[in-house]
Structure 1
Amino acid sequence: MEIPDIHGHSYHKEHEKYILRKSSAKDSAYFTGNWALEGYNGKGYRQIMKIHGETANDIMVSIGFSGARKGCQFSGKGVLSDGQITIPLKNTAPDMKGTIIIRPADENETLSLSTLNPEDRNELMYFCGGGASLAGDYKKLP
Structure 2
Amino acid sequence: MTDARPTATDWRLHPRLKADSFPVINHGRLQFRLINDRRFVWTLIVPMCPHAEQLHQLPPDWRNEALDGLQALSETLERLYQPERLNVGAIGNLVDQLHLHCVVRFDDDPAWPGVVWGAGEREPMEPIELLARIQPIAAGLGDALARNSAHAV
TM-score (norm. length: structure 1): 0.32
Give the number of the structure with larger relative contact order, counting CA–CA contacts within 8 Å between residues 6 or more apart.
Answer: 2
- Between Structure 1 and Structure 2, the one with more helix by share is 2
- Between Structure 1 and Structure 2, the one with more strand by share is 1
